Structure 1
Amino acid sequence: MSPKGYSRGQIALHWLAAGVIAAQFLLEDGISAAWRAVEGGEAFAFDPLILAHVVGGVAVLLMAAWRLALRFGRGVPDLPVGDPPLQRLVANLTHIGLYALMVVLPITGGVAWFGGIEAMAEVHEVLTTLLLVLVGLHVAAALYHQIWLKDGLLMRMKRPLD
């Protein structure tokens, strides 16, 4: 039997991960500049944004693992009754994609940065763009449910219902 809503821990991890991922996008200038310097054979000065990006990536990976453990251990609420099959499929694929990217992006970034592997940096960039698209789709879907359908779906991620 699926729970009616998300637990307090699932909700906290969702919003914390969202905040860290947003910061990763907004504060990536330091590591991008350092990577360009490395590609050009130049030295780069330490920038706290580099460390923040690396720590943020590790944090996203750990939160994804914790979220997956909660998801498989506790379960998640069912999708809304009455959603069309295609919408349910897109919702499921979007969630799978988000979780996969929260695991794979920190790994590709770490391999690129610490291994100096340019091809992995390119993979990281492409996957970063894909993550941005999936996050946008996720947010759009939440707003669609809240504003258009008015089905209360967003409330499941605002407060525990069980």
Structure 2
Amino acid sequence: MATTTPSSFSLPQRVLHWLTAALVFFNLLFPDGMNAWNRSIKQTGAATADQVASANIHAYAGIAVLVLVALRLLLRLVHGVPEAPPQEPALLRLAAKIAEGTLYLLLVAMPVTGMAAYYLGYEGAGDLHADVLKAILWVVVAAHVLGALAHQFYWKTNVLRRMTVG
């Protein structure tokens, strides 16, 4: 595994980060296909081909997130990650580590609960996925973005740069 601490994220880490972000935002902002499928299944026990196709797009994006997160975690082990800048207060460094761990946990739990609901029919998993975990994910993503912006504009660190251009 990584023996030295890198100064920025590797190109594969950056690409996977932004692909993951795009897919997460896609599924958070456009869950309509899955919602229509779910409503139809609950009301009539069946769904149209268009509803199934739309739900599949949502499901496949979620599965892709799960695969990308697994690759990201593997790359973290192999390449390592940059250390937090010293300008960041210790308490906020701890909060960032907790938020990062929570984000990774959610990026695994969301697809798993979604698959359990969609493919295995576990309604409780669907409720957890669409109601509880989704709300928590929005909060953690917002904190992640705000933290990156605070680094860029308040502490004037290179945190945003090392996840964009390296």
- 1:118 aligned residue (123, 128, 136): 123
- 1:143 aligned residue (126, 129, 149): 149
Per-residue deviation at 1:81? 1.0
Matched, 1:52 2:57: yes
Per-residue deviation at 1:144? 0.9
Report the Cα distance in structure 1 between the residues aligned to 2:49 and 2:149, rounded to whole angstroms.
40
Per-residue deviation at 1:46? 2.2
Q: How many residues align?
A: 160
The residue type paired with residue 63 of structure 1 is L
The residue type paired with residue 124 of structure 1 is H
8 Å CA contact 1:34–1:44 kept in 2: the answer is yes
The residue type paired with residue 42 of structure 2 is E
The residue type paired with residue 158 of structure 1 is T
TM (norm. structure 1) is 0.94
- 1:2 aligned residue (5, 26, 30): 5
The residue type paired with residue 69 of structure 2 is A
Q: What does 1:76-95 correspond to in 2, within 5 Å?
A: 76-95=81-100
Per-residue deviation at 1:31? 0.7
Report the Cα distance in structure 1 between the residues aligned to 2:150 and 2:88, rounded to whole angstroms.
12
Report the Cα distance in structure 1 between the residues aligned to 2:54 and 2:11, rounded to whole angstroms.
31
- 1:133 aligned residue (135, 139, 143): 139
- Per-residue Cα deviation, 1:79-113 (whole angstroms, up to 9, x for no partner): 01132221011100111111111111101000011
8 Å CA contact 2:6–2:82 kept in 1: the answer is yes
Give runs of ≥4 in structure 1 deviating > 6 Å: none
- Per-residue Cα deviation, 1:2-59 (whole angstroms, up to 9, x for no partner): 1111000000000011001111112210111111222224322123321110110110
Which structure ranks higher in relative contact order (CA pairs < 8 Å, sequence separation ≥ 6)?
Answer: 1
In structure 1, what is the equivalent of residue 158 of structure 2?
Answer: 152
In structure 1, what is the equivalent of residue 76 of structure 2?
Answer: 71
Counterpart secondary structure, 2:119:
helix
- 1:14 aligned residue (17, 26, 29): 17
Report the Cα distance in structure 2 between the residues aligned to 1:71 and 1:140, rounded to whole angstroms.
23
Two-structure CA RMSD over aligned residues (Å): 1.1
- Bigger Cα displacement from structure 2, 78-87 vs 2-11: 78-87
Report the Cα distance in structure 1 between the residues aligned to 2:107 and 2:147, rounded to whole angstroms.
19
8 Å CA contact 1:6–1:156 kept in 2: the answer is yes
Identify unmatched segments of 5+ residues in structure 1. none
8 Å CA contact 2:87–2:157 kept in 1: the answer is no
